[in-house]
Amino acid sequence: MDLGEFQIPGNSDPNQKTSHLSLDIGGSLIKLVYFSTNDGDDDDELGGSGKESVGVSNSNRSFPVLKGRLHFSKFETRKINDCLDFIQTKRLHIGGCQRLGALPIEKTIIKATGGGAYKYADLFKEKLGICLDKEDEMDCLVAGANFLLKAVHQEAFTYLDGKKEFVQIDHNDLYPYLLVNIGSGVSMIKVEGDGKFERVSGTNVGGGTFWGLGRLLTKCQSFDELLELSHQGNNRVIDMLVGDIYGGTDYSKVGLSSTTIASSFGKAISDKKELQDYRPEDIARSLLRMISNNIGQIAYLNALRFGLKRIFFGGFFIRGHAYTMDTIAVAVDFWSKGEAKAMFLRHEGFLGALGAFMSYEKHGLDDSMIHHLTQKFPMSSLVGDKICSPLNGELNDNESIECSVYAS
- Residue among 27 and 129 whose Cβ is closer to ligand PAU: 27
Q: State the binding partner of 204 from ligand PAU, ligand ATP, none, CB within 5 to 8 A by kind.
A: ligand PAU
- Residue among 46 and 123 whose Cβ is closer to ligand ATP: 123
Contacts of 83 (CB under 8 A, 6+ apart): 30, 32, 75
Least distance between ligand ATP and beta carbon 32 (Å): 12
Q: Tell which one of 9, 10, 115, 266 touches ligand PAU (CB under 6 A).
A: 115
- Residue among 168 and 204 whose Cβ is closer to ligand PAU: 204
- Residue among 288 and 295 whose Cβ is closer to ligand PAU: 295
Contacts of 249 (CB under 8 A, 6+ apart): 243, 258
Least distance between ligand PAU and beta carbon 115 (Å): 5
Least distance between ligand ATP and beta carbon 209 (Å): 8
Q: Are 239 and 265 in contact (CB under 8 A)?
A: yes
202 binds ligand PAU (CB under 6 A): yes
Stretch of 156-164, 181-189, 377-385, 387-395 contacting ligand PAU, by CB under 6 A: 181-189
Q: How far apart are CA 261 and CA 330, in angstroms?
A: 13
Least distance between ligand PAU and beta carbon 164 (Å): 27
Q: State the binding partner of 394 from ligand PAU, ligand ATP, none, CB within 5 to 8 A by kind.
A: none
The SS3 call for residue 291 is helix
Q: State the binding partner of 317 from ligand ATP, ligand PAU, none, CB within 5 to 8 A by kind.
A: ligand ATP
Distances (CA, A) of 387 to 69, 139, 357, 395: 9, 21, 15, 14
Least distance between ligand PAU and beta carbon 325 (Å): 20
Q: State the binding partner of 319 from ligand PAU, ligand ATP, none, CB within 5 to 8 A by kind.
A: ligand ATP
Across-strand partners of 179? 189, 312
The neighbour count for residue 259, using CB atoms within 10 Å, is 10
- Backbone φ and ψ for 114, nearest 5 degrees, come out as 85, 160
203 binds ligand PAU (CB under 6 A): yes
- Could you report how far apart the first and last alpha carbons of the chain are, in Å? 5
Least distance between ligand ATP and beta carbon 202 (Å): 9
Q: How many residues bind ligand PAU (CB under 6 A)?
A: 12
Q: State the binding partner of 202 from ligand ATP, ligand PAU, none, CB within 5 to 8 A by kind.
A: ligand PAU
Pick the closest to residue 230 from 268, 285, 156 (CA basis). 285
Least distance between ligand PAU and beta carbon 244 (Å): 31
Stretch of 50-58, 155-163, 197-205, 372-380 contacting ligand PAU, by CB under 6 A: 197-205
- Residue among 70 and 369 whose Cβ is closer to ligand ATP: 70
Interhelix angle for 223-232 vs 280-306, to 10°?
A: 100
134 binds ligand PAU (CB under 6 A): no
Q: Are 400 and 41 in contact (CB under 8 A)?
A: no
- Residue among 68 and 206 whose Cβ is closer to ligand ATP: 206
19 binds ligand PAU (CB under 6 A): no
Q: Shortest Cβ contact with ligand ATP: which residue?
A: 26
Pick the closest to residue 227 from 317, 313, 343, 349 (CA basis). 317
Which spans of this chain sit near ligand ATP (rule: CB under 6 A)?
26-29, 76, 114-115, 183-185, 207-208, 210-211, 223, 315-317, 319, 349
Q: How far apart are CA 152 and CA 225, in angstroms?
A: 31
Q: Are 279 and 233 in contact (CB under 8 A)?
A: yes
The neighbour count for residue 273, using CB atoms within 10 Å, is 11
Contacts of 160 (CB under 8 A, 6+ apart): 326, 329, 330, 333
Q: Which residues bind ligand PAU (CB under 6 A)?
A: 26-27, 115, 137, 183-187, 202-204
